[in-house]
Structure 1
Amino acid sequence: MKRSAAVSVASKPSSGHSSKNPPISAKTEYLALLAELDRRRRSNQLAAYKPYRRQAEFHAAGAINRERLFMAGNQLGKTRAGGAEWAMHLTGRYPAWWQGKVFDTPVRLWAAGVTGEGTRDNPQRVLVGPPQQQAAWGTGMIPADAIRQTIMGRNVPGAIDSVVVRHGGGGDVQAGESVLSFKSFEKGREKWQGETLHGVWFDEEPPLDIYSEGLTRTNATGGITIVTFTPLLGMSDVVLLFLSAGEVERMGKG
């Protein structure tokens, strides 16, 4: 009996793998699937955005307020919240949970930081992807399939001047085009004049004259301004714009 069993086992064709291990082709397909899922996740960060309470409150306030401030400490998701909202307005892709401002048509938006480098390394990075790796552009909050064109800036390496973004579309509805431009406070108020915009995002606290000029750019459209920053300048003129007299008094006593 033992000999017969041994002969039977020896004569059984070898499959090249044990029953406990999948064939090489199955492993390859599985790894390829994981890679594709990761690519889709990285190229559509907006779909995965789930705000925590303060971010959600900030977004929802846009339904009735033209001007909003998200003031918090470092690494608490201020720029991420601003980038996610700007990507929604640019693309028209609002999630089911959205309760904030909605634009039904393509928009013209600005995003700005203190310097050209700061704008590149913060709002541009969050919206488009790593500035130093153009192959990874499309891994920011603006989905890769919505980025139609990027126009480079001149003075700062890796800095983008503007982005043309696909807005809406699907079915019988033809897609439109939104335009996002990047600015900096250091250029002065004169560089902020002339445009008619749907929104301006100040990532870091702007001087009052720059903030006022940015707000003016949105008057004709009934557009919005959002400000996201860590309060490093104390009770500045811009901060005071967003605080009631009672809040100022309480902060003074504290």
Structure 2
Amino acid sequence: MVSKSPAAAKREYLSLLKELDRRRRTNQLAAYQPYARQAAFHAAGATNRERLFMAGNQLGKTRAGGAEWAMHLTGRYPAWWQGKVFDKAVRLWAAGVTGEGTRDNPQRVLVGPPQQPAEWGTGMIPADAIAHTIMGRNAPGALDSVVVRHGGGGDVQAGESVLSFKSYEKGREKWQGETLHGVWFDEEPPLDIYSEGLTRTNATGGITIVTFTPLLGMSDVMLLFLSAEEVERMGKG
């Protein structure tokens, strides 16, 4: 048996570290471990079509939304998952206030850095699940949609989910017509946009999730999710 030289062993070790880092970076979903509020938000999807995750900045709202959307798109649900499950490929939307906002938040979390196409596949959707991307026109680096491999393995042919990106600024008319399994509103939408998005999911019994920091006060959309007791308590506060 011929032993490797120290230099060769070092190169092999560094190559192994590089490969491990690549696998970690291109499969963020596998490493997702929700904290208590995120886990409760996900679990509520088993029995609720409409959900709200309202919290301050940098508290994991968009990350939670991105992780859940990646699971539904790919069919890769972890052992700890207790929320909504789709057993076939889905059509989902992810939306923000503007085209730039959608690009910089949901798209970034789901796909990777918008301005670095070589890094697409380092978001919550695993790189090996991204079949192809379609560019949008709303903002530089913005995607219109992503085709995502769902399930598959062994003798089973993978299905294809479709994720499309939307914005509120285009108005309600741009939200009409589609039949969807889910709509993710990242940042608070106007009530008419929310209602139209929810309508898109009626035929499939699909879901809506809303993730935002409350900046608009006691809005119509917020009131949809709060009990009378919560509204009264917030009013007194």
Shared fold (TM-score, shorter chain, > 0.5) = yes
Structure 1 or 2, whichever has the larger Rg, is 1
State the secondary structure of the residue aligned to 1:122: helix
TM superposition shift of 1:20? 14
TM superposition shift of 1:252? 1.2
Task: Give the CA RMSD over aligned residues.
Answer: 1.4
State the secondary structure of the residue aligned to 2:85: coil
Match of 2:213 among 223, 226, 230: 230
Q: Deviations over 1:18-74 (max 9, x none)?
A: x999x0111111111101000000000000000000000000000000000000000
Q: Mean Cα displacement is larger for which, 168-177 or 144-153?
A: 168-177
Q: Deviations over 1:186-241 (max 9, x none)?
A: 00000000000000000000000000000000000000000000000011000000
TM superposition shift of 1:172? 2.1
| 2:100/2:138 contact within 8 Å kept | no
Change (3 A) 1:245 1:31: same
Q: Distance in 2 between matches of 1:213 and 1:155?
A: 21
**Count of residue pairs brought into register by the alignment:** 235
Match of 2:158 among 175, 180, 190: 175
| 2:187/2:213 contact within 8 Å kept | yes
Change (3 A) 1:20 1:109: closer
Q: Distance in 2 between matches of 1:155 and 1:125?
A: 15
1:162 equivalent to 2:145? Answer yes
State the secondary structure of the residue aligned to 2:160: strand
Q: Deviations over 1:85-124 (max 9, x none)?
A: 0000000000000000000010000000000000000000
Q: Distance in 2 between matches of 1:249 and 1:203?
A: 26
State the secondary structure of the residue aligned to 2:147: strand
State the secondary structure of the residue aligned to 1:239: helix
1:135 equivalent to 2:118? Answer yes
Change (3 A) 1:20 1:102: closer
State the secondary structure of the residue aligned to 1:148: strand
Q: Distance in 2 between matches of 1:170 and 1:29?
A: 30
Q: Distance in 2 between matches of 1:35 and 1:189?
A: 47
Q: Deviations over 1:132-166 (max 9, x none)?
A: 00000000000000000100002311000000000
Match of 1:28 among 2, 11, 25: 11
Unaligned runs of 5+ in 1: 1-18
Q: Distance in 2 between matches of 1:150 and 1:86?
A: 16
Q: For 1:62-211, what aligned pairs fall within 5 Å after superposition?
A: 62-211=45-194
TM superposition shift of 1:82? 0.1
The two structures have a TM-score, normalised by structure 1, of: 0.91
Match of 2:204 among 208, 221, 226: 221
TM superposition shift of 1:250? 1.2
Q: Distance in 2 between matches of 1:232 and 1:154?
A: 28
Q: Distance in 1 between matches of 2:4 and 2:19?
A: 26
TM superposition shift of 1:173? 1.5
Q: Distance in 1 between matches of 2:153 and 2:128?
A: 13
Unaligned runs of 5+ in 2: none
State the secondary structure of the residue aligned to 1:70: strand
State the secondary structure of the residue aligned to 1:179: strand
Q: Distance in 2 between matches of 1:243 and 1:230?
A: 15
